[in-house]
Amino acid sequence: MSEHVSDALVAYSPDMTERSAKQAGYQTMMTLSLTLAMAKRTMSESDIRQAREVAGQAAEIVFDRLGVRPFHPRSEIPEDDRMAALFEAFRFD
């Protein structure tokens, strides 16, 4: 009986792998925004650039080179300091 219930839950529930990936992404974004806000107050622009470069290299080693983006974010930096920090973190130029 429990096997049938388990099969029914899997069949009628959202894909747990996709949900877990979205949850991990959400938590990562929250952590990143808080970390960047703190870093902006304590690190120089040069230190932040260097940290971004090292993080980019590490990400490429772990996840391989980033593919072409399916969208183009707007080019102007957002006015909100928190959003601007996220914007800067994800720039690849």
Per residue in 68-81, pLDDT tens? 665 555 566 667 77
C-alpha torsion sign, points 23, 28, 31, 37: negative
Low-confidence stretches of the chain (pLDDT beneath 70) = 9, 12-14, 16, 66-78, 90-93
Long-range interactions of 34-37: CB distance < 8 A, separation 24+: 36/82, 36/85, 36/86, 36/88, 36/89, 37/81, 37/82, 37/85
- 9: which residues sit within 8 A by CB, 6+ positions away? none
* Dist. CA 36–CA 23, nearest whole Å: 20
* Dist. CA 89–CA 20, nearest whole Å: 23
* Dist. CA 74–CA 71, nearest whole Å: 9
The pTM assigned to this predicted structure is: 0.43
pLDDT (0 to 100) of residue 58:
85
Are 43 and 85 in contact by the 8 Å Cβ rule? The answer is no
